[in-house]
Amino acid sequence: MRLVLFFIFFIGFSSNAQVIGIPHCGYDFTSYLVLNVHESGKTENVQNLRITIVDSSGVEVINKNNRWSWVNTNKPLIFTPNYKIDSNNKKVEQTTSDGKWFFPFAKDSYLLSIVTAFPADQFQVKIEDIDQNENGGHFETQTIQLFPFNMYVLCSSENERKAQQFGPRTNRPVEVILNKKK
């Protein structure tokens, strides 16, 4: 009888220890890079741009074996525009007022999912206005250096650690102002 009570007591404490442990965030190993890309004097983002991560030589970075991102393995790291969803989680037009942003922290921006250990200061962002899109290739190509503070760290424990450091705050989009070609 004592042995049975001991096992019940032991299992009870064991399961409580697992439940009471530190809760995990759904984004524990994921961060985001967020870009607001607009013309000078305007606030709305320029649509249909090709935005990629490049190395110091300007070569697109390939996500070999999910080294830099948990999605799109063995493909270039390409930013995608945020989008709106309806109450049924179906994608809707961005201009609709009844939808909500899929990533509410990013609003009308370009974003890229990366691993939390992404060495941002080793890479750059290349913004291209391809001639075949609706912008007609009117904007100059820009390359911008990334920094660790450009990353959106979504888990609160990581944010608290970053907030205790000096320097620019995390979780701010990178502002990119495009120049028209002359």
Model confidence over 1-15: pLDDT tens digits? 666 656 666 665 555
Establish if 15 belongs to a structural domain: no
pLDDT over 80 at 56, yes or no: yes
**What global pTM score does this model have?**
0.75
Domain carrying residue 79: 25-178
Residue at 5 is within a domain? no
The percentage of the chain sitting over the pLDDT mark of 90, rounded to a whole number, equals: 37
Domain count for the chain, please give it: 1
Quick check: is 122 in a domain? yes
pLDDT band at residue 93 using 50, 70 and 90 as cut-offs = confident
Q: For residue 168, give the CATH number of its domain.
A: 2.60.40
91 confidence band (pLDDT: 50, 70, 90): confident
Whole-angstrom CA distances from 79 to 20, 41, 100, 164, 180 are 38, 23, 20, 29, 21
Measured distance CA(60)–CA(43) in Å, rounded:
28
